[in-house]
Amino acid sequence: MSVSVKSLLSILTSPGPHRIMRGNLGIAGQPGVVYTPEQGRNLPAVVFAHGWLAGAGNYRRLLEHLASWGFVAAAPDTERGPLPSHLNLATDLLTTLDICTGVRLGGGDISVHPDKLALAGHGMGAGAAVIAAAQRPVGAVTALFPAPTAPSAEGLAPEIDTPALILAGGVDLSTNNCDAVELAKRWGGPASLRTVDKGTQNGIVEGRRTLAALGATKYEPRTQRISRALLVGYLSYQLLGDKKYQAFADPEAEIPHTRVVDPEATEEPEPERLSPLQVAQVARSLRK
């Protein structure tokens, strides 16, 4: 008997069955962290890039959640300042991929399958993941609440035929700091664009951050629970081929607490309303 998408989503919001181990990527020469299941061979791996003015530590619960469901989850901890290099962060993602596939993790009893790799990120990190995916083929890309980058991720998107899941906040999809629609519209491969109901761009970032003092939105546990469940379901299908989770990769499937967005369906702009003063000025110009 098949399990409903609603039930699967509920299950995936909770930690998976695996005990978690934490490691330091710095031992291999790359600042960052890695979380793994306690043991396993030929595991899938997700390399994750942080958002602006954040670091790998601000996504601990998200990375641990992935590990609890059987994924190796690694995150470089670089480019944390106010003027980060998105290109350098993308390079660090690729270096982290090399570490995951080339180094035995844990006590040597954990290994990653070279064909079960995903690049992921949040905010500017989502753009960095796209930049990295344009340089090296992987099994999937997940862009969580993507923000503009330099070079432009959406400019590189047509060159990438990797399957992608693109998430955006339900309340900030049309803001200048969210390029999810344009990214999905230009993506070269199959892509799903969804919004998380009532979610905001910084809702998945844990802990106190510099941005909080500038009035940025705070951590939203509900937004992270939904996002990490979508992430696990999507990657379980794309990297492991588990058909039970096929709906998470279906751009038309109805998934609770999310909304499917058609990137090609653009709303007509509302006509500009003129003030009485502007109306009078236009009328005078017409009489001349």
Residue located via tokens 């008997």: 1
- How many domains does the structure of the chain reveal? 1
Q: Name the average pLDDT for the chain.
A: 89
pLDDT of residue 219: 85
Per-residue pLDDT band for 167 (boundaries 50, 70, 90) equals very high
Q: Of the ranges 13-17, 123-127, 264-268, which one carries the lowest mean pLDDT score? A: 264-268
> Domain limits at 196?
5-287
288 pLDDT higher than 80: no
179 touches 146 (CB < 8 A): yes
1 pLDDT higher than 80: no
Region 51-71: mean pLDDT is 97
pLDDT of residue 264: 86
Q: How many CB atoms lie within 10 A of CB 222?
A: 14
Which has the higher per-residue pLDDT, 90 or 266? 90
Residue located via tokens 């664009």: 193
Element (H, E) at 6: helix 5-12
pLDDT of residue 282: 43
109's CB contacts (< 8 A; 6+ apart) are: 39, 40, 41
Q: Provide the 3-class DSSP secondary structure of residue 209.
A: coil
- 8-28 burial, b at 16+ Cβ within 10 Å, e below that, comes to bbeebbeebebebbebebeeb
pLDDT digits (tens, 9 = 90+) for 179-225: 999 999 999 999 999 999 999 988 999 985 555 555 556 889 999 99
How far, in Å, CA of 185 to CA of 197, rounded?
A: 21
Per-residue pLDDT band for 279 (boundaries 50, 70, 90) equals very low
Element (H, E) at 188: none
List 166's β-bridge partners, or say none.
143, 193
12 pLDDT higher than 50: yes
Per-residue pLDDT band for 105 (boundaries 50, 70, 90) equals confident
- CATH number at 15 reads 3.40.50.1820
- Give the tokens for residue 33: 């962290």
